[in-house]
Amino acid sequence: MSDKLPRLEPAGLDGWIVRLFNDIDEANLSWLAALANRCRTAFGDALVDIVPSYTTLLITFDPLSLSPAEARDRLMVLLDDLEPDTSGVAGGQVHELPTWYDPSVGPDLERVAGQTGLTIEEVIQVHSGKSYRVFALGFAPGFAFMGLTDPGLDCPRLDTPRQRVPVGSVAIAARQTAAYPAATPGGWNLLGRTCARLFDRQREDLSLLKVGDEVRFVPVSREEFERQGGDITPLEERP
């Protein structure tokens, strides 16, 4: 595989992956945003979907309008003098997610503390002490992969994922953090729960968080969490 970047990689009859970077970095986001904007203009109605992720964009197009070669040629032109979209990043929304950190809804707090050598209070402090960027959405509608967490919070995924993680659960794994927009299976370490509505089909833009957004978890008391509509039902662990 050639290491020269950017690189176009075939992704089926109606897709190209544009690889802009090799490594995860917050600075990637402004380049990816710029390319996504250019694609929307250049492909117009022939564009089907753009899936941004950490280092790449997957572009899918209508193969009745464009051949793969024609789509590649368009992308090559767009890459030619690409500049990072710093306005897009500055315009990336800032979100504060009220989060109740508590072992009843964050059943991995204690184990994470043990694994990282921190106290539970320190885990909460470190996790809520910095803001994160949204690198990608995936896994489930509105599920935002955010990072990077403090190296001191680096924890592997669970060996065996849980069958059901409650909606709003705030979690970490491998220097990333996320909040579950719906109850799904999940293998991340649960620290608490947010009352923010992360995915709402009634909302015009559906997902609260978008790639490039900035997110901060704000610790709130149980009372405040409940007052804002949070569900305090403890996670039931089946033996």
User: CB 5 → other proteins: shortest distance, Å?
Assistant: 13
User: CB 114 → other proteins: shortest distance, Å?
Assistant: 27
Closest CB to other proteins among residues 203, 222: 203
| Main-chain dihedrals φ then ψ at residue 205, nearest 5 degrees | -95, 10
Helix 120-128 and helix 109-116: axis angle, to 10°? Answer: 90
> Contact positions toward other proteins, by CB under 8 A?
1, 7, 9-15, 17, 19, 23-24, 48-58, 60, 63-64, 67-69, 136-145, 182, 199, 201, 206-207, 210-211
Closest CB to other proteins among residues 41, 81: 41
Closest CB to other proteins among residues 137, 146: 137
User: CB 56 → other proteins: shortest distance, Å?
Assistant: 4
User: CB 85 → other proteins: shortest distance, Å?
Assistant: 15
Q: Give the bridge partners for 178, in sequence order.
A: 171
Helix 68-80 and helix 28-43: axis angle, to 10°? Answer: 130
Closest CB to other proteins among residues 39, 153: 39
Closest CB to other proteins among residues 56, 116: 56
User: CB 67 → other proteins: shortest distance, Å?
Assistant: 6
Distance between CA 164 and CA 182 in Å, rounded?
10
